[in-house]
Amino acid sequence: MKLRLSIVTCLILAAAIAFPLGAPAQNTPPPPVAVISLVWGVVTLKHQNEDYKPARWLDAIFPGDQVKTAGPGSKLLITYFFDNHQEVLSMDSEARVDPTGLTSLSGPAIRKDPARNPFSNGVQSPFVYSHRLIQADFKGADDPTAMDRENAYIQARVRSVDPITFAWLPQKGVPNYQLQIWDANNSLMMGFDSKTPKVKLKPAQSNKLFTGTVYTWGVTAPGNATVVPNYQFMYMSNPQNRWYTETVNNFQSLRKRGQLQRSDYTDYLLISAQFVRVDDVLNLAREIAAMDTKNPGAFRALTRAYLAKGCPAHARQAYDTEIQLGGEDPIYP
């Protein structure tokens, strides 16, 4: 039986090890606990030791922040990471952000919806928000040839449910490829030689992996040339995949009917990141950034999506756009 750990435990472990691009600097602020999913009317956000400023979709929310709505029709919807529950702040209200929910400071009672994570509590901040940038993240970003190479890297895909399947862009003149899979301790789990740009694990091979656990994969060509830079995936259990598939199907159904709201994009982005679906996160983050070109929060997410895929040059470009738009996103040593 492959599900040897509880689903909750697996999610906690996955959140803890996902996207380990570097250790955060000491004395840095705590990670965000929630995200702004939707804004109506006049809504402002105040980080600690800062003044109120207009709140925007996808703004990260930190413990100790304060949010305020003012005037007719004003309302705020936020989503908490630890259990995916949502809270609504009605018009003419003010609240403080605490780790597991809003605390009213003035105005009508806050609407607190039930947890939407069917695996109970335990899901931590998704990597598109939890990862603190460090200088090493952007190593190689200034190489003038990096963008072209990364355009090929972006085409790689992993199917993280049975049968686990890896695919990448074929390289001209490459006779064979080597795919490797590592565990969270960087111990090599298995390796494959392939003459084609696709590998599908057999049941006996996938049985060596634990569902709900995060692994890293990468592909090289002869001479150790990078074909797919190392990036992560979670081997999803059937219950995890059902929840994820329901979210995706609901999103696509709303899209077909022309009824998508920005909160639907938020939900899809968060659950994709929580399950370390790096390919899906990147595709969605690119769509969001193209849809909301003046929103620094969109480019914050896009920066981290590119980094997770091993594309520092693209990430640097997204980061520069985020900062130009007024984003606050320090890079630590």
* Token pair 């705020």 in the structure block, residue: 76
Burial 77-91 (b: 16+ CB within 10 A, else e): bbbbbbbbbbbbbeb
* Token pair 């996103």 in the structure block, residue: 329
Q: Which of 124, 150, 185 is the last residue of a domain?
A: 124
Co-location of 176 and 290 in the same domain: yes
Distance CA 306, CA 292 (A): 18
Domain that holds residue 190: 1-30+126-333
Co-location of 182 and 212 in the same domain: yes
What does the pLDDT look like over 158-216, one tens digit per residue?
Answer: 999 999 999 999 999 999 999 999 999 999 999 999 999 999 999 999 999 999 999 99
Average pLDDT taken over every residue of the chain: 91
Quote the pLDDT of residue 21: 44
Burial 108-122 (b: 16+ CB within 10 A, else e): eebeeeebebebeeb
Co-location of 55 and 171 in the same domain: no
Co-location of 158 and 269 in the same domain: yes
What does the pLDDT look like over 91-135, one tens digit per residue?
Answer: 999 999 999 999 999 999 999 999 988 875 445 568 998 899 999
Q: What is the token pair recorded at 309? A: 């895929």
Q: Which of 72, 96, 124 is the last residue of a domain?
A: 124
Q: What is the token pair recorded at 181? A: 């899979």
**Confidence category of residue 26, pLDDT binned at 50, 70, 90:** low
User: Per the structure, how many domains does the chain have?
Assistant: 2
Distance CA 162, CA 142 (A): 38
Is the pLDDT at 261 greater than 90? The verdict is yes
Q: Which of 96, 124, 152 is the last residue of a domain?
A: 124
Quote the pLDDT of residue 30: 85
Cα–Cα nearest to 222, from 174, 283, 169, 173: 174
**52 — phi, psi (to 5°)?**
-65, 145
Co-location of 300 and 213 in the same domain: yes
What does the pLDDT look like over 266-323, one tens digit per residue?
Answer: 999 999 999 999 999 999 999 999 999 999 999 999 999 999 999 999 999 999 999 9
Co-location of 320 and 267 in the same domain: yes
Is the pLDDT at 142 greater than 60? The verdict is yes
How deeply is 28 buried, as exposed, middle or buried, from its count of CB atoms within 10 A (0-12, 13-18, 19+)? Answer: exposed
Quote the pLDDT of residue 210: 95
DSSP state letters, 28-67: PPPPP-EEEEEEEEEEEEE-TTS--EE--TT-EE-TT-EE
Q: How far from 63 is each of 33, 72, 120, 134, CA to CA, in Å?
A: 7, 27, 21, 22
